[in-house]
Amino acid sequence: MEAVVAIGQRVAQIQSRIAQVSAPPVDFETVLGAAVVAEVERTTQPSAPLAAAFALPGATTTTGVGGGAALVDAKGVPLELKAYGNGKIPSSALSPIAGTSHALWAPAARSFEALLAAARAAGVTIGITDSYRTYETQVDLVRRKGLYSQGGLAAKPGTSMHGWGVAVDLRLDATAQAWMRTNAGRFGFVENVAREPWHWQYVPTH
């Protein structure tokens, strides 16, 4: 904790020296390390995100770890992706989830990476079976598994939150499921589809 305080003090000193200078985009997990970021997030007020605590003039940040409510609409759709359409988002507008072959909206991807790291630290293994899903893939899923509204397991094409890059389907054993239900909310992920305990959606909270 003393190290975190020292980092905060050092940042304040740097801020005072570069008040008139524009700074490049900052990814605090890259600069400070995930462990330090997690500690600062844990010890700061929920209303004061890490980016604000360490803000530099002209800097932009990658929102994650539960944050980003202002970046989505009332239904949880990322504002920056709406123009593409559900399931029509180009790969260049999505962000890979480190260490996997999957991708999500960038804030969701960063938060999910933090979730996976926390699970690993707790000795919990979480697998990913699906993340962003194209419209065409959703059509095929409906064909194979039926519409959810009719007792199947697939949302109507164009309505799935997978198509907005904010949902993941996970491979969870009993231990992992229990861990998710206890901890996923800290990272902005919620279990919000009945009959689908493997489906988790990123819902920004601040």
- Rounded distance between C-alpha atoms, residue 9 and residue 4, angstroms: 9
pLDDT for 101-160, tens place per residue? 999 999 999 999 999 999 999 999 999 999 999 999 999 999 999 999 999 999 999 999
In the predicted model, is pLDDT for residue 84 greater than 90?
yes
In the predicted model, is pLDDT for residue 94 greater than 50?
yes
Q: Where are the domains of the chain?
A: 1-61, 63-206
pLDDT for 146-176, tens place per residue? 999 999 999 999 999 999 999 999 999 999 9
pLDDT the model gives residue 21:
37
Q: Which CATH number fits domain 63-206: 3.30.1380.10, 3.20.20.80, 3.30.420.40, 3.40.50.300?
A: 3.30.1380.10
pLDDT the model gives residue 2:
56
pLDDT the model gives residue 65:
81
Identify the helix (H) or strand (E) that includes residue 5. Answer: helix 2-17
In the predicted model, is pLDDT for residue 83 greater than 50?
yes
pLDDT for 32-54, tens place per residue? 445 444 543 443 333 333 333 33
pLDDT the model gives residue 66:
78
- For the chain, the average pLDDT equals 80
Q: Are strands 167-171 and 127-130 parallel, antiparallel or unpaired?
A: antiparallel
pLDDT the model gives residue 40:
38
Identify the helix (H) or strand (E) that includes residue 121. Answer: helix 106-121
